Structure 1
Amino acid sequence: MAAVVSYVCISLADATERRALMAEQFQQHGLDVQFFNGIRVRDPSFDVSATEVASRMRRYGRPLTNGEIGCYLSHREIWKQLLNSDDKAWCVLEDDIRLHHGFAATVEELVTHDDHWDVVRLMGLNRRKRIPCVTMPSGIQLMWMDRQPVGTQCYVISRAGAATLLKHTASIVHAIDTAIDRHWEHKLRLYVTEPEYVSTLDLESTLGIRTGVTSLSMKIKEKFFRRVDKFAAARYNAKHRPRRATAIGRVQEQASSPYQLPTETEPT
């Protein structure tokens, strides 16, 4: 029996063209998706405390853009709504993606077996080394990454994952995807599917333009913090990196390799 899945797509209220593109895809895939009006930040001082701004500047030497803050707050609000619902997991999407064949079935399978993960991305911006951690009954694999793939374009999140991330992101210092990627701190089971069932559309970013770091002292600080993070992540990964994949139920035989990425000729 297929799992009942709630889908939420983050989109600015006036992004009519983006919403139309996404709504067409949702219809093609037979999905009932609710649009969430993305939070638009006009003045960061209304949403970020002076302490958080100081922490951000001390670490990165540049502030988050208004768009990044709005994105951060939007994802957090959705996690709160998940916890206020009776659902055990939600699929969260942004409005600049393409859904590939098999997307809906994969999300349903993930929600059916939500005791094996906390957050699962259905795509990542970076394809770094991946290690099989969980093999789903269909043959799809959930992959561990020592260095996370970045991005919040599409992911499935459990209630436990939402509760933990709300605590972990209570202070706005990192961009939201960077905060999620810090798995050695929140210790969630954070995976990406293989194959991926989502890709990005070539649309203009709504996050705004980041300012660069120009001072030598700030560049040195930034490099220092990267090394500290790298060391902390390496210690955590060495202890928790999977040695072998866990198979859930009977893995169905597939005509093609589960690592084969969807082609552009498949329906979107």
Structure 2
Amino acid sequence: MTGELPVLLINIDRAAARRAEIERQALELNIPLQRIAGVDGSLVPQDQWDNVDLDLFRRRNGRPMMAGEYGCYQSHLRAFRHLLASDAPAALVIEDDVNLSIDLVQRARIILEAVPDDCVVKLVNHRTVSFRHRFTSKAGDRIGWSGFGPQGSSACYLVTRKAAERLLRGMARQSLPLDSALERSWDHGVAVYTVERDLVDFGHLRNETLIASRADYRQLKLRGLKKVPTHLFRISEAFRRALHTIAL
């Protein structure tokens, strides 16, 4: 795949320190950024949340949806729409808590030459288990699938134009956090690959969370029998992911 590769930076207005840091890095590395003004979920009353299934989210995740999760999800959908409004065949989507690398854009372009034109390629993850190799780029990056998940993090990934169009349809209604929803190829129909070794790492401002702390998550978690639907969903997801990986 040839052509322009825009780098889309998702950033909300109140994350000014993060924006300043990543723009400093981009300037030093000569990486042009296109800022996507993220949705700050804390500023959107819940009764104005668009295209969400709060009951299904609660059953699937074992807790209520948080404002930051709503904002993150909508922000990435904005990035997809931005790509479709341009002439670019693909985009590199990044969040504002990664550390850029000098060869990131070049390696990303080369990866796009090795994969189909209707896919997502995650370039950083929290975990990759039982990696199954499928492609190798000319730069030596190995690309494939993780047999177990969710892998966590959508802080840096490639998305092609065709994939963005399909994801906007398949992920229109939110019932999971963005990280989990994006990986569900068996649901939205878009192949989601991952690199075996991360192309970037996370910056020092990552710990200043804009969604919720671990204590917030613990406080919201359902207990006892109320958590049964969540356990059943997770077992089902693990089974569907395994079948999907085997079939590829």
State if a TM-score over 0.5 links the two structures: yes
Give how far 1:47 is off. Answer: 1.1
8 Å Cα contact 2:131-2:145 kept in structure 1: yes
Corresponding residue SS for 1:172: coil
C-alpha offsets along residues 36-77 of structure 1, whole Å, 9 cap, x if unaligned? 21111231221146x711222233332221111001000001
Which amino acid in 2 is paired with 1:87?
A: A
Corresponding residue SS for 1:205: coil
One of 196, 200, 209 as aligned partner of 1:205:
209
Q: Note closer, same or farther for the CA distance 1:3–1:107 as it changes in structure 2 (3 Å cut).
A: farther
Partner in structure 1 of residue 8 of structure 2:
8
Give aligned-pair identity as a percent.
25
Q: In 1, Cα distance between the equivalents of 2:117 and 2:159?
A: 12
Within-5 A mapping of 1:8-157 = 8-41=8-41, 42=43, 43-48=45-50, 52-113=53-114, 115=116, 118-148=119-149, 149-157=151-159
Partner in structure 1 of residue 197 of structure 2:
195
TM-score between the two structures when normalised by the length of structure 1: 0.82
Which amino acid in 2 is paired with 1:232?
A: R
C-alpha offsets along residues 209-249 of structure 1, whole Å, 9 cap, x if unaligned? 33432331122221111111122222222211xxxxxxxxx
Corresponding residue SS for 1:150: coil
C-alpha offsets along residues 98-148 of structure 1, whole Å, 9 cap, x if unaligned? 123421211221344553661111111113221221011222211221224
One of 218, 237, 247 as aligned partner of 1:229:
237
Q: Note closer, same or farther for the CA distance 1:132–1:114 as it changes in structure 2 (3 Å cut).
A: closer
8 Å Cα contact 1:123-1:193 kept in structure 2: yes
In structure 1, stretches of 5+ residues that fail to align are: 241-268
More helix by share: 2
Which amino acid in 2 is paired with 1:198?
A: V
Rg larger in structure: 1
One of 164, 183, 186 as aligned partner of 2:185:
183
TM-score between the two structures when normalised by the length of structure 2: 0.88
8 Å Cα contact 2:128-2:146 kept in structure 1: no
8 Å Cα contact 1:119-1:155 kept in structure 2: yes
Within-5 A mapping of 1:222-261 = 222-240=230-248
8 Å Cα contact 2:7-2:94 kept in structure 1: yes
Give the number of aligned pairs: 239
Partner in structure 2 of residue 255 of structure 1:
none
Q: In 2, Cα distance between the equivalents of 1:116 and 1:193?
A: 16
Q: In 2, Cα distance between the equivalents of 1:56 and 1:232?
A: 18
8 Å Cα contact 1:2-1:109 kept in structure 2: no
Q: Note closer, same or farther for the CA distance 1:157–1:215 as it changes in structure 2 (3 Å cut).
A: same
8 Å Cα contact 1:59-1:222 kept in structure 2: yes
